[in-house]
Amino acid sequence: MTGTPNLPPPWVRDAVFYQIFPDRFARSDSVPKPSGLEPWDASPTTFGYKGGDLVGVVEHLDWLVDLGVDAIYFNPIFQSGANHRYHTHDYFHVDPMLGGDAAFDRLLDACHARGIKVVLDGVFNHSGRGLLQFHDIAENNEHSPYVDWYHVHGFPIHPYETSEPANYESWWGIRALPKFNTDNPMTREFLMQVGEHWARKGIDGWRLDVPEEIKTEGFWEEFRTRVKAISADCYIVGEIWGDASWWIDFGERFDGTMNYRFAAATIAFAVGDAFDRTTRIDNPHYNVSPAIDADGYRGRVHDILNDYTSFALTANLNLLDSHDTPRILTMASNHTDRVVLALLLLYTFPGAPCLYYGTEIGLEGHKDPDNRRTFPWDHPDRWNRDLLNTTKELIALRKAHPALRSADYRVLWPTDEGDGSKAYAFERIDGDDRIVVLVNAGDATEAGTIPYTDLKAGNAELLWGKADVEFGEHHLRVSIPPRTGAVWQLH
């Protein structure tokens, strides 16, 4: 496509996101709960509920403000038959266990009063078995007026009888997730109205679940047009694990992508050989191992920067872990210093950084469901204070410097290919704001000279970290200890 792109909302490039899994973040005593909840501190199970709710989030908004968070991405909040709520039963109402619609209204008002944006998770490729239209098919089979809302191949359908053929298409063959027929105009219109409804309610964005699996031509273009007509600043971000350039460049569909490519490269470099291989997940785009050196990291960063236009780059949702991956500290075999390096690279990369709830205090977790542990509010003795302080420092650093929120990113070191070095340096520039970031992900002190042809002799202020540096007229001589990082501002 050529011409003027549809630009992302300007607030996104400056935002710091926090991802909340509603059942596990915080539970308020003011929200009635059913019996049968699992103990909050017990290990999570696949099907069990902990009883987290939206009022609990409201009661902990000061925590997020203190961190420096100004946008929240929520995993699904609509009525559902699963603790993760990707099995949607009603797209127009908030799950009663989360406090219902009233709790959401209170949450939205409280967030906006604090300048915090709210982004909801939209699951539009499939529904749960409890959605009215699918349930009607289960009850009435070929007599249901909603048969063409799904891909039904025979009758009767068998949503629960695993010994019988399902007779309908579902996501990854999971019977609990029947796939919508988005070629059906009524189904498509229903989903468009969902997007519009919550935009009118005042949400600030949609995170779209598995959008690649909706093949209907023009579906996402229409979704964008209709949602943006209600709220031009509504952020639309797609869960695309691989190269998302077709989806986000020129803004015809989405403003940005969940940047798992950045996550994988950063973990492979910063965590390196400390990576716990038992945490590896089966996704070719999340290639977190084997370890890579600085040259390998430079190559993968180069691919990301080249694949996306500058406006799309700054609208990507950058992350290290999520509800779909093991926790970063667990992947790093509990090496806090490796996680710190990954966080440094996250908060100094173009795009909006997103912190998975609890990462700031060192919450651990292997694969699903263990990666969805509850936040230990009542056990501050379990918090990793070093990670908490570092997270606050890096968020504050990003907010203080426009260069760290720009699209400009220039690698300074390594200067030679194939030397196996673990030292990596780059520059970020926005007008007169010039920032240099240096990371040593190796086990030994790294020293060297970085040619810098446009460096002006002058002062260099150390903003964060530690390293020895000498700024010459056309070079930087650096010496940095193992597994550390440093950030300078050039004057």
Catalytic residues: 209, 239
Q: How far apart are the first and last CA of the chain?
A: 40
CA distance 276 to 271: 9
- Token reading at 262: 């950045």
CA distance 14 to 314: 9
Is residue 350 reached through a cis peptide bond, with omega within 30 degrees of 0 on the bond before it?
no
CA distance 324 to 3: 37
Residue with tokens 């709960």: 33
Q: Give 317's strand partners.
A: 258, 352
Query: Residues near 41 by Cβ (< 8 Å), separated by ≥ 6?
Result: 374, 376, 378, 379
Residue with tokens 């989030």: 57
Query: Residues near 432 by Cβ (< 8 Å), separated by ≥ 6?
Result: none
CA distance 17 to 395: 10
Query: 426 burial class (0-12, 13-18, 19+ CB within 10 angstroms)?
Result: buried
Q: What's at 4, amino acid-wise?
A: T
